[in-house]
């Protein structure tokens, strides 16, 4: 089975052998379980409980299932997992209360056949440690450009060039180091979510006339001419549960008479 894991996934299989001391138990089994990205559980008959119609599986394996459930639900360390239960084994312990779609089996061939279909889907860890998570969030390429605007309204095309889903919580516009308005918050009913490798336009309404603010900052209030202005777009993003500020700099053309803003 370990060889099958190495062949069909990018991971290395580890088989928990019998340990002869408490130190080896914690170092080799509990530590390995904590660092694992996947768990394959096979429950065989281990005998009946005298006086009860219960076919018991390995008590240690039951405990491993409980530890894995704790890791996922409490510690947030999600695992790939597949559980095989030999026909006739009773439902005991935490398995009574957790959602774990077990596969019943009669022979070893049943297990191997199922693993050959399941393991190729284990392409990357479900859990990302803090260091890797921060690195991936920092490396995500996100851009924002103005499409059109009029008075208080503006449409931004936000592009997500990463392989991570992102959500923009708020937007702030600046020009010549002056903030044009208070942060524009994403609506709770329709959040600004951009899936991996997607570009999505979002129309938003500012609390201030953006074209008027740009005219004031660039001393164009009393002219009738269109003018160009550098615009700094600040996005407050949430990626993998972490917050990151993204700043993109663009040039726009502002029409004094029309109060329109056009991206260049």
Q: What is the pLDDT of residues 72-113, one digit of tens each?
A: 888 888 889 898 888 887 766 655 556 567 888 899 899 999
Residue 229 CA to residue 253 CA, distance in Å, equals 6
C-alpha closest to that of 154 among 235, 208, 78, 226: 208
Burial of 28 per CB tally in 10 Å (0-12, 13-18, 19+): middle
Burial state string for 78-106 with b = 16 or more CB within 10 A and e = fewer than 16: ebbbbbbbbeebbeeeebeeeeeeeeebe
- The CATH architecture assigned to 133-263 reads Sandwich (2.60)
- With contact defined as beta carbons under 8 Å apart, do 229 and 252 qualify? yes
pLDDT in the model for residue 15: 77
pLDDT in the model for residue 173: 97
pLDDT in the model for residue 224: 73
pLDDT, tens only, 159-208: 999 999 999 999 999 999 999 999 999 999 999 999 999 999 999 999 99
Residue 67 CA to residue 65 CA, distance in Å, equals 5
pLDDT-derived band at 19 (thresholds 50, 70, 90) equals: low
pLDDT, tens only, 63-75: 788 888 888 888 8
pLDDT in the model for residue 30: 77
pLDDT in the model for residue 249: 96
* pLDDT top residue among 99 and 61: 61
pLDDT in the model for residue 31: 79
């Amino acid at each position: 089975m370990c060889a099958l894991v190495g062949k069909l996934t990018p991971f290395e299989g580890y088989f928990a052998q019998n340990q002869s001391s408490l130190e080896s138990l914690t170092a080799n089994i509990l530590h390995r379980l904590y660092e694992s990205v996947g768990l394959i559980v096979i429950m065989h008959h281990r005998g009946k409980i005298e006086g009860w119609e219960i076919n018991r599986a390995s008590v240690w394996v039951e405990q491993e299932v409980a530890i894995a459930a704790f890791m996922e639900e409490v510690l947030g360390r999600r695992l790939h997992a597949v559980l095989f239960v030999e026909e006739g084994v009773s439902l005991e312990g935490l398995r009574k209360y957790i959602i774990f779609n077990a596969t019943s089996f009669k022979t070893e061939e049943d297990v191997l056949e199922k693993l050959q279909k399941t393991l190729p889907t284990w392409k990357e860890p479900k859990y990302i440690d803090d260091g890797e998570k921060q690195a991936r969030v920092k490396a995500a390429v996100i851009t924002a450009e103005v499409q059109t605007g009029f008075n208080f309204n503006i449409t931004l095309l936000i592009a997500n060039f990463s392989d991570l889903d992102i959500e923009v919580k708020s937007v702030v516009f600046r020009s010549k180091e002056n903030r044009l308005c208070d942060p524009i918050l994403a609506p709770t009913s329709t959040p600004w979510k951009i899936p991996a490798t997607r570009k999505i336009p979002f129309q938003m309404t500012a609390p201030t006339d953006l074209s008027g603010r740009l005219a004031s900052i660039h001393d164009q209030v009393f002219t009738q001419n269109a003018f160009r202005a550098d615009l700094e777009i600040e996005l407050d993003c949430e990626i993998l549960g972490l917050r990151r500020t993204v700043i993109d700099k663009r040039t726009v053309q502002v029409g004094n008479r029309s109060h329109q803003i056009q991206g260049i």
